[in-house]
Amino acid sequence: MSDTPLSPPDETPEALDQFYRQSRPIDLASWLSQLPVDQAWHHLAALPLPRQAQTFGALPVNDQTALAAVIPTPDLSAIVALMSADDRVDLFQSLGPIAQKRLIETLPPEVSRDIEQLALYAEETAGAIMTSDYAVLDAAMTAQEAIGALRGQASSSETIYRSYVVDQMGRLIGSVRLHSLILAEQDAQVCDLMEHDPVSVSIDTDQEEVAQRIARYDLLAIPVIDDAARLVGIVTHDDASDVMQAEATEDFQKISHVLPFKQNMRQAGIGMLYSRRIIWLALLVVGNLFSGAGIAHFEDMILAYVSLVFFLPLLIDSSGNAGSQSATLMVRALATGDVQMKDWRALLLRELAVAAALGATMAAVVFPIGAWRGGTDVAVTVGLTMFVVVMIGSLVGMSLPFLLSRLRLDPATASGPLVTTISDATGVVIYFSIATLILQL
Amino acid sequence: MSDTPLSPPDETPEALDQFYRQSRPIDLASWLSQLPVDQAWHHLAALPLPRQAQTFGALPVNDQTALAAVIPTPDLSAIVALMSADDRVDLFQSLGPIAQKRLIETLPPEVSRDIEQLALYAEETAGAIMTSDYAVLDAAMTAQEAIGALRGQASSSETIYRSYVVDQMGRLIGSVRLHSLILAEQDAQVCDLMEHDPVSVSIDTDQEEVAQRIARYDLLAIPVIDDAARLVGIVTHDDASDVMQAEATEDFQKISHVLPFKQNMRQAGIGMLYSRRIIWLALLVVGNLFSGAGIAHFEDMILAYVSLVFFLPLLIDSSGNAGSQSATLMVRALATGDVQMKDWRALLLRELAVAAALGATMAAVVFPIGAWRGGTDVAVTVGLTMFVVVMIGSLVGMSLPFLLSRLRLDPATASGPLVTTISDATGVVIYFSIATLILQL
């Protein structure tokens, strides 16, 4: 790509006009989203209608919502009618009830019906991310008839490259590639060209599983069927890829103790970020009361061997770090489908071996430092504690995501904070218990 | 999808035969990869050749390499010749020099040349993940001629849905959708149907940017051009989606202090996991020497106010947690392209505000606990320290990814461990310094 500018060089009519014509919708959208809404609409209104709809559709939903408030209803209605079926539902659902009503009343009836239908499905399911833009063929058509039918149905979407074949009841029975239709003899029948039993998902399949399936089978789109096996929509690869990115971002937030949010990080507000971050930080204070209580219990020991305090942050950090290593690896492997619930037992055995090796190495590293600071007894105490807490941190970190998964909770949600709290509290108690045994014999 | 079984119900010839026929290549591959290699080859050999190649190509590369060692060279050569151009290069590069030589000698010359050509490009660039399976048209062709030409070029790949138009020098000048060719008048010229100036990448563009660009422009594939703007390959959406998943997994590993590895988590070995995890754990011990030295320096203070120790894990954890929140949010936002280097200053100001709010809240939470454990002076010390360390943790966590990025280092690599070490060491020093000021006045 000869890199096109991402904003117009100046505001002369010529420069703007050239920029409008040369830029891709997503690039225009990026530029518009940095402008005040009334200016953004001013520029958007200068585009031909199909390009208006493409550009508007490429904006993030919260920008679309803000813009929708300043666009006159007839213009908005014209834009929405041209947007892709899944994008316009997302916009519709973000509007207030009055704006929704006004839009529904001014849109062509078939578009309104389509929106109301798609808006029914639960969030984060196949139903919520699917589109009704897809091509349907009859099994009895010839290749030539099928191509003719596609010409009629053809929207501008990429989804024409695979058509779906349904029976009289509307049930999905096959799929056929445009490619196969073109290469076939003109009178070959669709039922002989189609692939039977295509990979599909149900309306209520979780969006993450939809995305995993599209990736696993390298699909352009996956058909969505209802309880009666009737074809009701498709989810396209680009939406699936957005879902995967969003789900990964959510997991990143969760494992680093942030409540998930969907806003773009650049646009996120101070209040929102504060509220998403403070909860776990404050809850961790409660968790720390346990380790604090442990320390208070061993006050006399600390006064007698103050060098023990020297190792406290190290031991607690090591346990927490080993735990977060294990937890993150498992959370990610469960999210990508690399690992499943049934693998738990085998993975636990492996984790035992890895954790023992890690613990032994860490003990060996910390032993000489202990000897230097506090003599042999302290070295033995610190080394032994290190071995035990790294083992415990790893095993807890590895097991917790499975346990949460089994309880139908998101493995990422509490893994991070819980691992930290558990490894902290047990770390302190184990440390001073071992110290009591060794130093006060 | 009527869920097909993921392994044959039994080993009778009939059951196996039905399983072979009904399963999709990726499902067959998943089953084969759990078997010993000689058994896997036994089953693979029973498939028709094209399906052999598809199934073999769907295996992870390390399984392909293991299998390649037991497959007789003529069979291997037949399979490799049918694999997609990018997959067979990956296999080729994982083979030893002798196996490589044997393979190159038995493959058809044009396949060998193609492999040797593709094998030249640097890892993790567009060149390394591109394929040479794509269709090329001439701008002067008519729509009918173009469709005829595609029939000739057509491989089984999805990549036929967009063809690329090159000039006499082989330079990329446009792209045209199959859809447009079919809908066009038969004598319309390709140059009038094509889109000019298609989005492209260079051979040496980083694979993460390639994937970002495909996602940004919702492409099925992106053309790759060389220094002279000649078309040399394409990267397809499914490979881009794999790259995004792999890069996200790598970032998950890095922020949780694990050296990145590419193996599937279920198959990863004990030694490999140990080696990827021990490095940062052990290095963090060194980092902890600083905080330990800090504590040692304040030994007298601890003996006088042992209740201060009570708050040590809490303060250090809070600082580290706030830091890892900020670091993770930034690492992820930089990886997805949501945030760029130029946003640094604006984001720093916002982070200052968020961190101050977080610090103040945390101070308010910890103050009463401090008062209860050690009286007003300790409460003030602990509250003030909490405010300062949460601020410092957040600001370091937020800035470090940008700094590493600026130094052309991966922001994820050292953010996690560095944030931990810095917030630990500064936490201890700040804590006891504030304590000295307040308690010993």
Which residues of chain B does A1 touch, with a Cβ-Cβ cutoff of 8 Å?
197-201
Averaged over B28-41, what is the pLDDT?
90
Cβ(B71)–Cβ(B101) below 8 Å: no
CB neighbour list of residue A342: distance below 8 Å, 6 or more residues apart: none
Token pair for A322: 């080993």
Best B151, B178, B329, B358 member to test A by mutation, with max A CBs in 10 Å, is B329
Would you call B280 and A198 a contact, using CB atoms and an 8 Å cutoff?
no
Would you call B245 and A249 a contact, using CB atoms and an 8 Å cutoff?
no
Q: What is the pLDDT of residues A234-264, one digit of tens each?
A: 999 888 988 988 888 888 888 888 888 887 8
> Would you say residue B174 has pLDDT above 90?
yes
| Shared-domain flag, residues B107 and B172 | no
Scanning B80-139 for CB atoms below 8 A from A yields none
Choose the closest CB to A325 out of B197, B256, B317: B256
Beta bridge partners of A177: A162
Helix boundaries (H) for B95-236:
97-106, 109-118, 126-129, 143-153, 178-183, 190-193, 207-216
Q: Which of A211, A214, A199, A203 shows the shortest CA–CA distance to A242? A: A211
Scanning A283-322 for CB atoms below 8 A from B yields 284-285, 288-289, 291-292, 295-296, 299, 302-303, 306-307, 309-314, 316-318, 320-322
Would you call A179 and B200 a contact, using CB atoms and an 8 Å cutoff?
no
Which residues of chain A does B277 touch, with a Cβ-Cβ cutoff of 8 Å?
322, 325, 354, 358
- Residue A103 forms part of a structural domain: yes
> Would you say residue B157 has pLDDT above 60?
no
- Strands of the sheet containing B195-196, edge to edge, are B136-138, B162-166, B172-177, B195-196
Choose the closest CB to B179 out of A154, A215, A390: A154
| Shared-domain flag, residues A197 and A345 | no
pTM exceeds 0.90, yes or no: no
| Shared-domain flag, residues A330 and A392 | yes
Task: Give CA separation, B40 vs A22, A34, A60, B78, B95, in Å.
Answer: 53, 56, 48, 17, 19
CB neighbour list of residue B52: distance below 8 Å, 6 or more residues apart: B44, B45, B78, B79, B82
What is the average pLDDT score of chain A? 87
Would you call B369 and A309 a contact, using CB atoms and an 8 Å cutoff?
no
CATH number at residue A25: 1.25.60.10
Could you tell me which chain A residue has the CA closest to the CA of B277?
Answer: A325
Minimum mean pLDDT among A171-175, A229-233, B139-143, B289-293: which range? B289-293
Residue A440 touches chain B, beta carbons under 8 Å: no
Could you tell me which chain A residue has the CA closest to the CA of B223?
Answer: A1
In this prediction, residue B414 carries a pLDDT of: 59
Rounded CA gap, B262 and B241, in Å?
Answer: 15
In this prediction, residue A1 carries a pLDDT of: 42
- The secondary structure of B391-428 as a DSSP string is HHHHHHHHHHHHHHHHTTS-HHHHHHHHHHHHHHHHHH
| Shared-domain flag, residues A279 and A379 | yes
Would you call A321 and B281 a contact, using CB atoms and an 8 Å cutoff?
yes
- Residue A250 forms part of a structural domain: no
CA angle centred on A402, ends A396 and A404, rounded to 5°: 90
CA B222 to chain centre: 18
| Shared-domain flag, residues A146 and A219 | yes
In this prediction, residue B312 carries a pLDDT of: 85
CB neighbour list of residue B127: distance below 8 Å, 6 or more residues apart: B118, B120, B121, B203, B204, B224, B232, B233
Rounded CA gap, A151 and A135, in Å?
Answer: 10
| Shared-domain flag, residues B278 and B422 | yes
Beta bridge partners of A215: none
Residue B144 touches chain A, beta carbons under 8 Å: no
- Residue B257 forms part of a structural domain: no
- Residue B8 forms part of a structural domain: no
Please name the amino acid found at residue A80: V
Å from A363 to nearest chain B CA? 10
Cβ(A405)–Cβ(A411) below 8 Å: yes
CATH number at residue A209: 3.10.580.10
Residue A265 touches chain B, beta carbons under 8 Å: yes
Rounded CA gap, B439 and B378, in Å?
Answer: 8
Rounded CA gap, A199 and A204, in Å?
Answer: 15
Rounded CA gap, B139 and B136, in Å?
Answer: 10
- Answer with the one of A120, A148, A165 that is the final residue of a domain: A120
- Residue A126 forms part of a structural domain: no
Could you tell me which chain A residue has the CA closest to the CA of B327?
Answer: A256
Q: What total number of domains does chain A contain?
A: 3
- Residue B259 forms part of a structural domain: no
Res. B71 pLDDT band, cuts 50 70 90: very high
Which residues of chain B does A255 touch, with a Cβ-Cβ cutoff of 8 Å?
252, 256, 328
Per DSSP bridges, beta strands B221-225 and B231-236 are antiparallel
Cβ(A38)–Cβ(A46) below 8 Å: no
In this prediction, residue B2 carries a pLDDT of: 41
> Would you say residue B56 has pLDDT above 90?
yes
| Shared-domain flag, residues A206 and A309 | no
| Shared-domain flag, residues B163 and B197 | yes
> Would you say residue B338 has pLDDT above 60?
yes
- Residue A262 forms part of a structural domain: no
Token pair for B50: 């094209």
> Would you say residue B1 has pLDDT above 50?
no
> Would you say residue B153 has pLDDT above 90?
no
Domain interval for residue A88? 13-120
| Shared-domain flag, residues A32 and A105 | yes
- The secondary structure of B261-282 as a DSSP string is --S-TTT--HHHHHHHHHHHHH
Rounded CA gap, A349 and A351, in Å?
Answer: 5
Would you call B303 and A303 a contact, using CB atoms and an 8 Å cutoff?
yes
Could you tell me which chain A residue has the CA closest to the CA of B311?
Answer: A292
HSE-CB at B260 with a 13 A cutoff on CA atoms is 14
HSE-CB at A286 with a 13 A cutoff on CA atoms is 7
| Shared-domain flag, residues B286 and B406 | yes
Averaged over B413-437, what is the pLDDT?
81
- Answer with the one of A93, A120, A147 that is the final residue of a domain: A120
Rounded CA gap, B168 and B228, in Å?
Answer: 13
In this prediction, residue A385 carries a pLDDT of: 96
In this prediction, residue A185 carries a pLDDT of: 84
Q: What is the pLDDT of residues B178-230, one digit of tens each?
A: 888 887 888 899 999 999 889 999 999 999 899 989 988 888 899 999 999 99
Å from B107 to nearest chain A CA? 27
CA A362 to chain centre: 35
- The secondary structure of B360-384 as a DSSP string is HHHHHHHHHHHHHHHHHHHHHHHHH
Best A34, A307, A321, A343 member to test B by mutation, with max B CBs in 10 Å, is A321
Res. B171 pLDDT band, cuts 50 70 90: very high
In this prediction, residue A10 carries a pLDDT of: 76
> What is the ipTM score, two decimals?
0.81
Task: Give CA separation, A74 vs A25, A63, A80, A107, in Å.
Answer: 22, 19, 10, 9
Contacts A–B by Cβ distance under 8 A: 309
Rounded CA gap, B84 and A415, in Å?
Answer: 40
In this prediction, residue A55 carries a pLDDT of: 94
Would you call B317 and A252 a contact, using CB atoms and an 8 Å cutoff?
no
> Would you say residue B55 has pLDDT above 90?
yes
HSE-CB at B436 with a 13 A cutoff on CA atoms is 12
- Residue B292 forms part of a structural domain: yes
CA angle centred on B46, ends B41 and B47, rounded to 5°: 105
Please name the amino acid found at residue B346: A
Answer with the residue of higher pLDDT: A227 or B299: A227
| Shared-domain flag, residues B105 and B50 | yes
Backbone φ, ψ for residue A320 (5° rounding): -65, -40
CB neighbour list of residue B330: distance below 8 Å, 6 or more residues apart: A265, B339, B347, B397, B398, B401, B402, B411, B415
Would you call B244 and A241 a contact, using CB atoms and an 8 Å cutoff?
yes
| Shared-domain flag, residues B62 and B153 | no
Query: Could you say which residues of chain A have pLDDT below 70?
Result: 1-5, 154-158, 413-417, 441
